[in-house]
């Protein structure tokens, strides 16, 4: 926990500049659900214009694709960090899971992009595995793309399943963090099988299949 | 006369029912499936099962189509450890209902250990209730999913002829036909299988144990794919007897193993009387009632 970047020291000045009204000094956990949801509406007209320094700082802090977030997304990440600070540690996993299940797409996407910034992210694994099963592409991308969580915490089978889903959806696998380091023989077999299926159906294969087949195989 | 043996009518409109009946569809089988997003409560499954058995069956009847369903825990939600025990208990209650003609759709999605456990348990449940099983092949890593599906069917000991393996492709169909299982094909506008490819498969493999369906749901799909594919087969010179087997005889033979559906029942035209209501609700919205008795 201690080696986490101090994300609040980055987000608070940013939000103070963009949307000071969403910073509450008297935030109480009972207000979380209402505030988390209403941010999308209340910040709808605020444009996220990041300076290059802010952009770089967000990436360095672990928000690897700031372009995918609007101001409400940044504010929601801030709110999640605040909420976990107020909750007993033992309630964190259930809280994050409930937040995901009751969230709309943008709420879910902010949550998924926040996970690596939260303490002990490995506790949220079941929520993230379910996030990979959603049919909404932007939500799937929020966990699968520009997010270090899967490569860090997914087991081999779950990681391969996520990459294969990206191939099927046409989401570039080059956006998956840590793919080269996690590319094992099973993933290569799956990619080759998908290519074979497309060929048998008279369809063209995708360059991403070749990209995976060309990666150096790792052993797990 | 045709049957669509896999279609999710709760997601479709009354216009679809009218078009399907006009195109020759006389019966549908609606498998319980994923709702497009995860459900969070066991009660959501129970209400869904009740809707399949109640309102949807009535709605179909108002357009001259007999409606049957299959019930099960779909592969995606088999991963929900917090739900599966409760839904499994519901299945024990609802599989005995008259409108249920199989356990399904069950099978693999990501091929997790949780999916395998629930898939196997539901095959056992089918055997216990004397019902056939409608098995969904995974959309990804399909050949491996087919091999594992067949292996699990053998391991559980449900007879091959009581298993319909659905969503086949060029690569999986030969594997299924090597067994005694039935082979379904979902004809989709873009993915899964299309009319031309299906024609080629029938030319190569014949009609024995082969079925086609639209698998139409809330996504971009076409509830008329069974009649459209039958027309494509006719245009390609496939024998009328083979087409009749694929769109009528085979699905009846498979689901008749439930003891709750047979050819004589389906050959009887369903009387339409849109003056009828279900729990006080009619399909009419101010129109003149269609009555065909």
Q: Give chain B's mean pLDDT.
A: 96
Please report the pLDDT score of residue A41 as a whole number: 83
**Is A196 in Cβ contact with B171 (below 8 Å)?**
yes
Tokens representing B71?
């019930």
Confirm if B164 and A195 have CB atoms less than 8 A apart: no
Average pLDDT for B194-218: 97
Q: B interface toward A at CB cutoff 8 Å?
A: 36-38, 40, 76, 79-81, 109-112, 139-144, 169-171, 197
Q: Nearest CA to B169 among A202, A27, A152?
A: A202
Q: Do residues A137 and A110 make contact, with C-beta atoms less than 8 angstroms apart? A: no
| Over residues B174-191, mean pLDDT | 95
**CB atoms near residue A207 (< 10 Å):** 10
- Is-contact A173 A208, C-beta < 8 A? yes
- Cβ atoms B210, B250 nearer than 8 A: yes
Q: What is the model's pTM?
A: 0.91
| pLDDT reading at A218 higher than 90 | no
pLDDT confidence tier of residue B203, bands split at 50, 70 and 90: very high
Q: Look at residue A26 in the predicted model and tell me its pLDDT.
A: 79
Q: Which helix (H) or strand (E) holds B3?
A: strand B2-4
Cα gap A81→A65, rounded to integer Å = 18
Question: Which burial class, exposed, middle or buried, applies to B271 when counting CB atoms under 10 A from its CB (0-12, 13-18, 19+)?
Answer: exposed
A85 secondary structure, DSSP code = H
Q: Which two tokens stand for residue B161?
A: 């002829």
Taking residues A66-86, report their average pLDDT: 91
Contact B8, B217 (CB under 8 A): yes
Distance CA B183, CA A126 (A): 34
Which DSSP category does B281 fall into?
Answer: B
Q: Give the pLDDT mean for B35-55.
A: 95
Task: Determine the 3-state secondary structure of A154 from DSSP.
Answer: coil
C-alpha span between B176 and B190 (Å, rounded): 23
Closest Cα partner for B258 from B95, B48, B124? B95
- CB < 8 Å to A202, chain B: 197
**ipTM for the predicted complex:** 0.86
Over the stretch A23-43, which tens digit does the pLDDT of each residue have? Answer: 777 788 888 999 999 988 888
Distance of residue A33 Cα from the nearest chain B Cα, in angstroms: 18
CB proximity under 8 Å: A 95-124 to B: 101
Whether residues B140 and A129 touch (CB distance < 8 A) is answered with no
Q: How far is B25 from chain A, CA to nearest CA, in Å?
A: 28
* Contacts with B76 from chain A: Cβ below 8 Å: 133
Cβ distance A133 to B38 less than 8 Å, yes or no, reads: yes
Distance from CA of A173 to the nearest CA of B (A): 15
- Give the residue from chain B lying closest to A102, CA to CA: B40
Number of H helices and E strands in chain B, helices first, is: 12, 10
**Residue A141: both structure tokens together:** 């991308």
Distances, alpha carbon B291 to alpha carbons B101, B165, B179, B271, B277, in Å: 28, 38, 46, 8, 13
| A130, A165, A196: residue with CB nearest B38 | A130
Q: Which residues of B touch A133 (CB under 8 A)?
A: 38, 76, 79, 109-110
Q: What is residue A121's predicted lDDT score, i.e. its pLDDT?
A: 96
Would the pLDDT of A1 be above 50?
no
Q: Are B212 and B244 a contacting pair, CB within 8 Å?
A: no
Query: For residue A120, is it left (φ>0), alpha (ψ between -120 and 50) or beta?
Result: left
- Residues in chain A within 8 Å Cβ distance of B143: 193, 196-197
When pLDDT is cut at 50, 70 and 90, the band that residue A212 belongs to is very high
pLDDT band at A128 (very low <50, low <70, confident <90, very high): very high
Range with lowest mean pLDDT among A61-65, B99-103, B161-165, B288-292: A61-65
Q: What is the pLDDT of residues A48-58, one digit of tens each?
A: 888 898 888 88
B144, A200: Cβ pair inside 8 Å?
Answer: no
In the predicted model, what is the mean pLDDT of residues B185-192?
Answer: 88
Min distance A61 CA to chain B CA atoms (Å): 31
Straight-line distance from the first to the last Cα atom of chain A, in angstroms, rounded to the nearest whole number: 26
- Cα–Cα distances in angstroms (integers) from residue B33 to residues A208, B30, B76, B217, B255, in the given order: 31, 9, 9, 10, 18
A125 and B CB contact within 8 Å: no
Tens-place pLDDT, residues A86-121: 999 999 999 999 999 999 999 999 999 999 999 999
**What does the radius of gyration of chain B's CA atoms come to, in whole angstroms?**
18
Find, in chain A, the residue whose alpha carbon is nearest to that of B139. A168
Mean of pLDDT values over B44-68: 97
Percent of chain B at pLDDT above 70? 100
* Residue A108: predicted pLDDT: 96
Report the residue of chain A nearest B41, measured CA to CA.
A101
pLDDT in tens, A186-206: 999 999 999 999 999 999 999
pLDDT for B175 beyond 70: yes
The minimum CA-CA distance between A142 and chain B, rounded to whole Å, is: 16
pLDDT of residue A5: 60
B140 to A165: CB separation less than 8 angstroms, yes or no: yes
Mean pLDDT computed over A11-22: 83
Strand B25-31 relative to strand B2-4, pairing: parallel
- Closest residue in B to A163 (Cα) is B140
Distance CA B158, CA A3 (A): 54
CA distances in angstroms from A1 to A5, A92, A126, B118, B254, listed in the order given: 9, 14, 20, 37, 58
Mutate to test the interface with B, among A161, A170, A208 (most CBs of B within 10 A): A161
* pLDDT of res. B83: 96
Q: Chain B: residue nearest A196 by CA?
A: B171
Phi and psi torsions of A65, nearest 5° = -135, 70
- Give helix A92-101 / helix A71-86 axis angle, nearest 10°: 150
Of A220, A151, A162, residue with least CA distance to A191: A162
Instruction: Write b or e for each residue in B23-56: b if 16 or more Cβ atoms lie within 10 A of its Cβ, otherwise e.
Output: bebbbbbbbbbbbeebbeebeebbebbeebbeeb
Nearest in space to B175 (alpha carbons), one of B139, B151, B211, B202? B151
Report, in this order, helix, strand and coil percent for chain A, each rounded to 5.
70, 0, 30
Give phi and psi for B192, each to the nearest 5: 55, -85
Nearest chain A Cα to B219, which residue? A135
Partners of B37 on chain A (C-beta within 8 Å) are: 134-135
Q: Is A130 on the interface with B (CB under 8 A)?
A: yes
| Best residue of A102, A126, A129, A133 to probe chain B, by most B CBs closer than 10 Å | A133
Give the tokens for residue A81: 């960090």
What is the average pLDDT across B168-195? 94
Instruction: Give the lowest-confidence range in B187-196, B210-219, B234-243.
Output: B187-196
How many other C-beta atoms can be found within 10 angstroms of the C-beta atom of residue B132? 25
Do residue A201 and residue B80 have CB atoms under 8 angstroms apart?
no
CA distance B114 to B116: 5
Rounded to the nearest 10 degrees, how much is the dihedral formed by the CA atoms of B18, B24, B26, B29? -80
Residues of B in contact with A200 (CB under 8 A): 169-171
Residue A44 DSSP label: T
Q: How far from the centroid of its chain's Cα atoms is residue B24's Cα?
A: 17
* HSE-up of residue A160 (Cα within 13 Å, Cβ side): 23
A143-168 pLDDT, tens digit each: 999 999 999 999 999 999 999 999 99
């Amino acid at each position: 926990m201690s080696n986490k970047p101090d994300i609040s020291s980055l987000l608070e000045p940013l939000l103070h500049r963009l949307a000071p009204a969403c910073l509450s000094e008297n935030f109480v956990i009972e207000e979380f659900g209402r505030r988390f949801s209403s941010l999308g509406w209340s910040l709808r007209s605020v444009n996220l214009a990041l300076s290059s320094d802010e952009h770089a700082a967000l990436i360095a802090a672990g928000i690897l694709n700031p372009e995918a977030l609007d101001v409400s997304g940044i504010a929601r990440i801030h709110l999640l960090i605040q909420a976990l600070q107020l909750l007993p540690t033992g309630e964190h996993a259930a809280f994050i899971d409930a937040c995901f299940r009751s969230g709309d797409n943008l709420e879910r996407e902010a949550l998924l992009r926040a996970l690596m910034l939260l303490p002990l992210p490995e506790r949220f694994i079941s929520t993230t595995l379910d996030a990979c099963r959603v049919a909404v592409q932007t939500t799937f991308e929020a966990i699968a793309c520009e997010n270090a969580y899967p490569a860090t915490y997914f087991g081999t089978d779950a990681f391969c399943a996520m990459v294969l889903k990206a191939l099927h959806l046409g989401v570039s696998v080059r956006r998956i963090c840590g793919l080269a380091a996690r590319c094992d023989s099973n993933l290569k077999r799956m990619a080759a099988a998908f290519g074979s299926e497309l060929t048998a159906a008279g369809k063209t294969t995708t360059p991403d299949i070749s990209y995976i087949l060309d990666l150096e195989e790792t052993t797990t | 006369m045709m049957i669509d043996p896999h279609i999710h009518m709760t997601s479709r409109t009354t216009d679809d029912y009218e078009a399907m009946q006009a195109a020759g569809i006389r019966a549908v089988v609606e498998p319980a499936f994923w709702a497009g997003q995860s459900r969070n409560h066991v009660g959501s499954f129970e209400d869904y099962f009740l809707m399949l058995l109640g309102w949807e069956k009535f709605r179909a009847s108002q357009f001259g189509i007999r409606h049957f369903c299959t019930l099960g825990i779909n592969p995606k939600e088999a991963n929900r450890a917090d739900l599966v025990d409760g839904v499994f208990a519901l299945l024990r209650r609802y599989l005995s209902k008259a409108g249920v003609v199989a356990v399904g759709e069950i099978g693999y999605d990501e091929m997790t250990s949780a999916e395998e456990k629930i898939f196997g348990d539901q095959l056992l449940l089918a055997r216990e209730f004397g019902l056939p099983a409608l098995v969904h092949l995974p959309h990804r890593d399909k050949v491996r999913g087919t091999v594992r599906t067949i292996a699990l069917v053998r391991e559980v000991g449900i007879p091959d002829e009581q298993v319909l393996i659905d969503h086949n492709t060029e690569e999986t169909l030969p594997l299924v036909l090597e067994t005694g299982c039935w082979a379904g094909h979902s004809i989709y506008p873009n993915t899964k299988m299309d009319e031309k490819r299906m024609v080629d498969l029938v030319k190569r493999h014949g009609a024995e144990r082969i079925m086609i369906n639209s698998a139409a749901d809330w996504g971009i799909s076409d509830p008329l794919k069974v009649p459209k594919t039958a027309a494509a087969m006719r245009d390609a010179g496939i024998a009328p007897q083979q087409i009749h087997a694929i769109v009528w005889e085979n699905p009846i033979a498979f689901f008749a193993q439930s003891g709750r559906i047979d050819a004589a029942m389906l050959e009887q035209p369903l009387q339409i009387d849109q003056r009828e209501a279900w729990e006080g609700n009619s399909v009419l919205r101010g129109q003149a009632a269609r009555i065909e008795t």
